Chain A
Amino acid sequence: MYDFEIQKPGSIADAVSAMSGDDAQALGGGQTLIPTLKQRLASPSTLVSLAGLSEMVGICKDDAGRLCIGGATTHAAVAADGSYAGLSGLASHIGDPAVRNRGTIGGSLANNDPSACYPAAALGSGATIVTNAREIAADDYFLGMFETALNEGEIITEVKFPIPEKSNYQKFVQPASRFALVGVFVAKYADGVRVAVTGASESGVHRWTAAEEALNANFSADAIAGLDAPSGDGMINDLHGSGDYRAHLVKVMTGRAVAAAS
């Protein structure tokens, strides 16, 4: 690693101020960023640690019944919460127990790895990403692989999830990395079903609208079985699986998520 300075602000306001420095980068749980720094793929001059910001840790419900999760809340805490079953189930299978004790929801969403789990939950729930400056709808937040609507220096302070009637996340793990080769999050709300796919597309997490329409008409695995798999064009094509293979998995995992939704 190249050396850098670590700053540990005591408040969100101090963190935002520290982020305004040259080459400053936010440090969430570090479970992706630290390996990246070790490979010298990033060379910030300052890391602004968000782990100690108690105002960004915790889970509660707002007046609209949404589950509000602080940006520095760990995967382990979300897994243990259980008030949104599909979301807690997803969090309980990210990485491994030690990783879940450090990694944070804000860090994952800010990084927007194309194979990460949380982006599927946020997009599949129509969540709201709250930053120090504004609120961003999930549909407007994910812009492509590792790209988000966040501005330079902007920090995710909270994520608000409407809680669906039924939900489930199914992940087909890449056997070596245990990341999602394909992951599908399905959530059934009173006003419609959302289906979000991670791991598959070269443009990152996205919604499978054909499946949403079919499930709006008939929320069952049979409705998915009757669909054509999405096109393999634009799907990730690498040594772990072809684009067509991933497209096939999208259909299979969607069917499984619908069947398991509770």
Chain B
Amino acid sequence: MTKVTLTVNGKTVSKSVEGRTLLSSLLREDLNLTGTHIGCDTSQCGACVVHVNGEAVKSCTMFAAEADGAEVKTIEGMANADGSLSVIQAAFQEHHGLQCGFCTPGMVMSAAALLKDNPKPSEVEIRAYLEGNLCRCTGYHNIVKAIMAASGQDVPAVAAE
């Protein structure tokens, strides 16, 4: 077992982990932050995306031991300080960017990472950035729309064709 100390959503935590413990397991099972979802466990689906030192990573494809000393942000850390939804989260709600909601934590974390580097992405750029985030319900249209809206760009009021 290895002791790791990291900052998760602004709080410092220390845990003992096995070598094989994944960051996603540490978050979900040791820290009870179950908003980070494990969809495929094969690095494909992106439901487990979190930010490590400000960058989007698939937490099912990183060992907890390697997050020692890192700053990690999960979907639980995305809301505003007063508990209200962040701009991106509110846009997903407003534009119905989800159906079953399973992929949504990863979508929101990827969207936040995209907008940090590219504050006004085009639709093409959004779709390209979401290559590693799979949604099996929505067909992506409303997710893309929500991210466009969250970036302050006009989106059509009607549902996507």
Task: Write the residues of chain A forming the contact surface with B, with a CB cutoff of 8 angstroms.
Answer: 1-6, 8, 27, 30-31, 34-35, 37-38, 47, 49, 51-52, 76, 95-99, 101-102, 178
Quick check: A98 and B58 within 8 Å, CB to CB? yes
User: Is the CB–CB distance between A97 and B131 below 8 Å?
Assistant: yes
Residues in A with CB closer than 8 Å to B46 are: 96, 98
- Min CB distance, A151 to chain B, in Å? 25
**Contact in complex: A101, B65 (CB < 8 Å):** no
Interface residue ranges of B30-52 to A (CB < 8 Å): 41-43, 46, 49, 52
Is B55 touching A47 in the complex (CB atoms < 8 A)? no
Which of B20, B114, B132 has its CB near the most chain A CB atoms (within 10 A)?
B20
Would you call the interface of chain B mostly helix, strand, loop, or mixed? Answer: mixed
Q: For chain B, residues 105 to 141, give those with C-beta under 8 angstroms from any C-beta of chain A.
A: 110, 113-114, 129, 131-133
Q: How large is the interface on B (under 10, 10 to 19, 20 to 34, 35 or more residues)?
A: 20 to 34
Cβ–Cβ < 8 Å partners of A99 in chain B: 43, 58, 61, 132
Closest to A99 in B: B132
- Summed over the interface, the residue pairs from A and B with CB atoms below 8 Å come to a total of 74
Docked-complex contact A51 and B66, CB < 8 angstroms: yes
A178 to B132, CA, bound (A): 10
Q: Is B102 part of the contact surface with A, judged by Cβ < 8 Å?
A: no
Across-interface contacts of A97 in B (CB, < 8 A): 56, 110, 113-114, 129, 131-132
Contact between chains at B65 and A95 (CB < 8 Å): no
Judge whether B57 and A101 touch: CB under 8 Å.
yes
Q: Can you report 16 residue pairs joining A to B where beta carbons are below 8 Å apart?
A: A3-B18, A4-B19, A4-B20, A6-B19, A8-B68, A35-B42, A35-B61, A38-B42, A47-B19, A47-B63, A96-B46, A96-B132, A98-B57, A101-B55, A101-B56, A178-B131
Q: A30 is contacted by which of B41, B42, B63, B113 (Cβ under 8 Å)?
A: B63
What residues of A have a CB within 8 angstroms of the CB of B131 in the complex? Answer: 96-97, 178
B65-123 interface (Cβ within 8 A of A):
65-66, 68, 110, 113-114
Determine the residue in chain B with the shortest Cβ distance to A80. B117
A98 near B20: Cβ-Cβ < 8 Å: no
B2 an interface residue at 8 Å Cβ cutoff?
A: yes
- Residue B6 at the A interface, CB < 8 A? no
B55 shortest CB reach to chain A, Å = 4
For residue B123, give the distance in angstroms from its CB to the closest CB of chain A. Answer: 16
The CA of A229 and the CA of B58, in the complex, are separated in Å by: 39
Contact pick for A98, options B18, B56, B63, B65, CB 8 Å: B56
Chain A min CB distance to B57 (Å): 5
Contacts of B113 in A (CB 8 A): 97
Cβ contact within 8 Å between B43 and A35: yes
Given contacts A49-B66, A51-B66, A97-B56, 6 further A-B contacts (CB under 8 A): A4-B20, A8-B65, A30-B66, A34-B22, A98-B57, A102-B58
Contact call B43/A31, Cβ cutoff below 8 A = yes
Closest A residue to B17 using CB positions? A6
